[in-house]
């Protein structure tokens, strides 16, 4: 059962430009996010080396710390990210910043990003 968000948007009212040092790629991968209060299921809609955007089934608040489990490729290994922090929330969409990620998980993400960037029509 989904919990309704407390506010329609937690984004700052003053939009600002933020330079992202890593490229983000669109994706559609299922993930599970675990906090001390619940286990949620969502979909990763974009991914970078430092974080991801998620469409989730639970309302979360900025600052919440979660652990993540997801599979980046069909029939691939489960990638676990020990600690990620919710940076922003917009309804059931939210942004996560990877705080603590093991080297194997970071390698899987970097490999996927590299493959996607090389196969992108914009990289030609």
pLDDT tens track for 61-74: 999 999 999 988 88
CB 118 within 8 A of CB 124: no
Residue 99 resides in a domain: yes
Return d(Cα 25, Cα 44) in angstroms, integer: 10
Residue 5 resides in a domain: no
From residue 86, give the alpha-carbon distance in Å to each of 11, 57, 103, 113, 121: 12, 14, 21, 21, 31
Q: What is the pLDDT of residue 82?
A: 97
Residue 36 resides in a domain: yes
Residue 2 resides in a domain: no
Q: Residue ranges of the chain with pLDDT lower than 50? A: 1-11, 19-20, 123
Residue 39 resides in a domain: yes
The model carries a pTM of 0.77
Q: How far apart, in Å, do the first and last CA atoms of the chain sit?
A: 45
Q: Cβ-count burial of 77 within 10 angstroms (0-12 exposed, 13-18 middle, 19+ buried)?
A: exposed
CA 121 from chain centre, in angstroms, equals 24
Q: What is the pLDDT of residue 5?
A: 44
Count of the separate structural domains present in the chain: 1
Return d(Cα 119, Cα 57) in angstroms, integer: 31
CATH label of the domain that carries residue 91: 2.40.10.220
Nearest C-alpha neighbor of 70 from the set 84, 58, 59: 84
Which structural domain, as residue segments, surrounds residue 107?
A: 25-119
Residue 124 resides in a domain: no
Residue 80 resides in a domain: yes
Q: What is the pLDDT of residue 117?
A: 75
Q: What is the pLDDT of residue 22?
A: 55
Residue 31 resides in a domain: yes
Q: What is the pLDDT of residue 121?
A: 63
Q: What is the pLDDT of residue 3?
A: 44
């Amino acid at each position: 059962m989904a919990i309704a968000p407390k506010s329609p948007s937690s984004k700052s009212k003053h939009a600002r430009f933020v330079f992202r040092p890593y490229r983000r790629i669109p994706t559609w991968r299922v993930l599970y996010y675990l906090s001390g209060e619940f286990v949620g299921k969502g979909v990763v809609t974009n991914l970078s080396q430092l974080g991801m955007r998620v469409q989730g089934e639970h309302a979360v608040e900025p600052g919440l710390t979660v652990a993540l489990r997801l599979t980046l490729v069909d029939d691939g290994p489960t990638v676990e990210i020990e600690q990620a922090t919710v940076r922003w929330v917009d309804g059931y969409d939210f942004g996560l910043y990877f705080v603590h990620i093991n080297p194997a998980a970071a390698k899987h993400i970097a490999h996927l990003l590299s493959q996607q960037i090389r196969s992108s029509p914009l990289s030609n």
